[in-house]
Structure 1
Amino acid sequence: MQDHFEDDALTFRAPQRTRWYTRLWPACLGHGCFGRKRRQFQLYLIGYDPVGHLQRAASVGDVALVQKFINGSEYHINESDRRRRTSLHYACAHNHPNVVAWLVSNDSTDINIQDDEGCTPLIKATQRDNVECVSILLKQGADPHIVDFGGDAALHHAVVQGNITIAGQLLKYKANIDAKTEYGVTPYKLALYGRQHQMAEFLIKNGAEAHLGMKPNRYSFFFLQS
């Protein structure tokens, strides 16, 4: 009887493949993997998964638990994970303005702390298009001039995202409209590179210097490459 089971198993067993991940193919066919919608990871959120209890509470917007951890002295408010990401970073990345507001109301919070990529909570909130978090941070004194380790300030990230609302908030709090990256690229020039014409026009209206006298149009990208 056992021999018959083994024969049947061999009959329907998928061919053995040389690499472990190719052996997932029969399993996917059997469970309809290709009929499901593929999970889309949000830009700048890939790898931003909390590993500690405090960071996890902040990432899901659990204000009460965050308060319990901090007020009970179980964790320091600026405690970070191995990538130097604090609870404030996680709250900003996952768009929980209620957690952000509570954290920045504490005098001990380092609002401009940088993670291992040089991202402040303000930069992280800007990368994620989290307008309310950006607003709270700026009102509480977040510095819009700090650059990450790639040389980009929050305004550069707002331009890349094409988020005029956040760009306007940053300029309201005196962000340098002509700040240059380590490669000498200003927000205006970055907008042209990315064909963000509305953003480029917005920056011009707010005082950005037009490089080489260029105005935003559909040919600007090619002029910049020459």
Structure 2
Amino acid sequence: MLIGVVFAFPYIPGSDSKVFQGAGLLFGVLAALGSSAVATNIISGLMLIYTRAFLEGDRVEINGVVGLVQERALLVTRIRTPRNELVSIPNAAVIAASVVNYSFSRREIRKPVALSTTITIGYDVPWRQVHALLLAAAESVEGISDEVDPFVLQTSLNDFHISYELTAGVRDAKKYRETLSDLLAAIQDQFAAAKVEILSPGYHAIRNGNPSTLPPAAAATAGQT
């Protein structure tokens, strides 16, 4: 068809005018750009199929969008979010982005994907007690897998508190969000029952009447303003 249009072009009335030729050039450029974008998305779609980055039904995060893969077409990948929104992402953007697949671990290596959450507790609470409460919370959540043991890491010794990170496996990756919510609720229940407040204490320095610590020149300038 395109070859026929090329051969017929000189016989089209007005084809020798500058306006007609300019319009034809513009149409050609737009067609070339459009076909290039389509080709890029098709090639990217084929690459996604052969790289096995994800399958339909997998829970993924692509370009900040989290949800279940509803459709993996040649041109776009469609993701259904937890709010039942359908997000279409061009395959060229997918192939250029980092893809987090929450379902891969269960399908490929037969292990549950893990979730983690961090809380900060003051130094006045014994760290062994914090570990025990976090592990008890994980064990009480139905959505937490018993295939691997949950564990707690102390990730930072801050000025006023310690950062504790709890990591636990998830039974069903499709319920990752719900399981995390249940885990956070269980942590609140465990700490409340033990009468341990989940607070990050802070301290403030209050001037007690001592002279200013500003250098003399700076103090004089401040006094003139």
Which range, TM-score by smaller chain?
A: under 0.3
Greater share of helix residues, 1 or 2? 1
Q: Which has the higher contact order (CA 8 A, sep 6+)?
A: 2
Q: Write 1 or 2 for the structure with the bigger share of strand.
A: 2
| TM-score normalised over the length of structure 1 | 0.25
Which structure has the larger Rg?
2
